[in-house]
């Protein structure tokens, strides 16, 4: 069956105490909204409709950055979940298929769960996602008779007997799109909050003789985020799950609790990740690499056999070929490091290409920025760059060449050449002693004057 997603992302999130719309607060490097959209993508939706409200322009930008085909509509008044879903109706007016309602602040619904809901819809008119709550608190309750879902009752409208039920409503719903909007047309706001509850569609459907059922999932999938404390808890839950998955797939995490991962982090088997490593968005590490302690990686690719760190930083555009060595206090940005090359100590390599089996000495800097424009440095194969070399881009060093330590290279270096660019050393006998005596006398006069 064709599928459309309706993702509710209109809430302000007052308890977040933030100018940023609630659904744009990040978990594991991506906005909560992106997590929800990525989960729904498992159903291969033909359309994804995001219902924005507070901070609609920012929400629209984030949604379209993740999925340029997404449709963003706006809920200008907050009148409840049914009202929010109804804002998607014009975007799905001609859609013939299943609609799944998700929430931008409930980021962890698993793809397998959504698949089970889609399967259940084959023999039901409405499918609701529920969970057994360890603390039902103020969740809505699912009222079942056997496998049939009779109705959903909000906590504030529930009787004491209904509040004793522990099967709770996640808010996630699946139904044929035309039926969903038809049922919402009959939803009223005669309740304690005077809002239009999406949950009321179950009772309306049952009154029409239609069928409804519930699919259940683990409670952690339904975790909603309403405060900074919730956000931290959600991020911790993601990290625990992601670390466990990596170790199950053959990655060694020496101190798992100290490794921070992003939603899109990819790490191959037999890679070793030492303590206190941060993976920002867009990182792929191939099999058999080693990421040493206290390193930070973002927007980069590390090939097989690579060694990074300790205390290294790989920034966006860093591409490391097989068996590359990036050592302590080295920063690499928008640079391609070819097979077997080494940048082992205290260097900055930006906007550059380093050839196969080249060695970059300690303290080397590719001077890539002139205050306005960025410029490129090209270093060939088997090049030896002496320690403390400044490569003033744009500049090229040919295959097999060498630079002397302390050189400032401003012109291209021919293959196999030795480039030296130092000011002559001048020595003045006895001058150091005279200078020290003069400075000490000056200091003494200043102290007497004070």
Annotated active-site positions, please?
345
Given its phi and psi angles, is residue 255 left (phi above 0), alpha (psi -120 to 50 degrees) or beta? beta
Other Cβ atoms less than 10 A from the Cβ of 215: the count is 23
419 and 413 Cβ atoms separated by less than 8 Å = yes
| Residue 212, both tokens | 């409804």
Other Cβ atoms less than 10 A from the Cβ of 437: the count is 10
Cα separation, 32 vs 172, whole angstroms:
16
**Strand stretches in 154-227, DSSP E:** 167-176, 212-216
DSSP-derived pairing of the beta strands 30-31 and 26-27: antiparallel
Beta bridge partners of 101: 6, 173
In the chain, % helix, strand, coil (3-state, to 5) comes to: 25, 30, 45
Q: Give me the half-sphere count of Cα atoms (radius 13 Å) on the Cβ side of residue 324.
A: 28
DSSP-derived pairing of the beta strands 395-397 and 148-153: unpaired
**In this structure, what are the phi and psi dihedrals at residue 294, rounded to the nearest 5 degrees?**
65, 30
CB within 8 A of 282, min separation 6: which ones? Answer: 262, 264, 298, 299, 300, 316
Please report, in angstroms and rounded to a whole number, the separation of the first and last CA atoms in the chain. 88
* Listed residue (285, 281, 293, 280) closest to 254, CA to CA: 293
Instruction: Taking each helix axis as running N to C, give the angle between helix 32-40 and helix 111-120, from 0 to 180 degrees, rounded to the nearest 10.
Output: 50
Burial category of 152 from C-beta neighbours within 10 Å (exposed 0-12, middle 13-18, buried 19 and up): buried
DSSP per position, 40-62: HGGG--SEEEEEEBTBHHHHHHH
| Residue 400, both tokens | 């097999």
């Amino acid at each position: 069956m064709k599928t459309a997603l309706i993702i509710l992302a209109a809430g302000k999130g007052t308890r977040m105490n933030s100018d940023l719309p609630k659904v744009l607060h990040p978990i594991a490097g991506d906005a909560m909204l992106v997590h929800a959209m990525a989960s729904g993508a498992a159903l291969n939706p033909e359309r994804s409709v995001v219902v924005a409200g507070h901070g609609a322009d920012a929400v629209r930008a984030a949604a379209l950055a993740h999925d340029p085909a997404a449709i963003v509509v706006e809920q200008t008044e907050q009148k409840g979940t049914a009202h929010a879903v109804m804002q998607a109706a014009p975007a799905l007016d001609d859609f013939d298929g299943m609609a799944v309602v998700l929430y931008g602040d409930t980021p962890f619904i698993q793809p397998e769960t959504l698949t089970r809901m889609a399967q259940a819809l084959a023999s039901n008119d409405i499918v609701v996602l529920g969970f057994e709550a360890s603390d039902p608190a103020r969740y809505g309750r699912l009222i079942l008779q056997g496998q049939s879902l009779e109705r959903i009752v909000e906590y504030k409208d529930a009787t004491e007997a209904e509040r004793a039920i522990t099967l709770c409503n996640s808010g996630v719903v699946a139904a044929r799109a035309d039926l969903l909007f038809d049922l919402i047309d009959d939803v009223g706001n005669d309740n304690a909050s005077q809002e239009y509850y999406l949950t009321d569609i179950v009772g309306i459907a049952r009154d029409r003789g239609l069928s409804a059922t519930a699919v259940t999932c683990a409670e952690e999938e339904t975790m909603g985020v309403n405060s900074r404390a919730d956000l931290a808890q959600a991020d911790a839950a993601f990290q625990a799950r992601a670390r466990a998955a990596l170790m199950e797939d053959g990655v060694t995490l020496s101190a798992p609790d100290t490794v921070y991962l992003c939603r899109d982090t990819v790490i191959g088997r037999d890679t070793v990740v030492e303590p206190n490593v941060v993976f920002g968005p867009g990182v792929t590490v191939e099999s058999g690499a080693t990421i040493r302690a206290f390193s930070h990686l973002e927007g980069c690719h590390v090939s097989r056999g690579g060694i990074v760190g300790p205390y290294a930083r790989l920034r966006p555009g860093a591409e490391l070929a097989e068996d590359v060595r990036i050592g302590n206090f080295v920063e690499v940005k928008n640079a391609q490091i070819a097979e077997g090359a080494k940048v082992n100590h205290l260097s900055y390599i930006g906007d550059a290409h380093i050839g196969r089996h080249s060695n970059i000495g300690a303290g080397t800097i590719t001077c890539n920025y002139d205050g306005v424009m960025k410029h490129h440095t090209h270093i060939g194969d088997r090049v030896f760059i002496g320690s403390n070399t400044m490569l003033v881009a744009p500049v090229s060093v040919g295959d097999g060449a060498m630079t002397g330590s302390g050189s400032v290279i401003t012109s291209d270096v021919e293959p196999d050449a030795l480039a030296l660019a130092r000011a002559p050393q001048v020595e003045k006998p006895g001058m150091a002693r005279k200078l020290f005596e003069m400075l000490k006398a000056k200091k003494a006069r200043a102290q007497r004057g004070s």
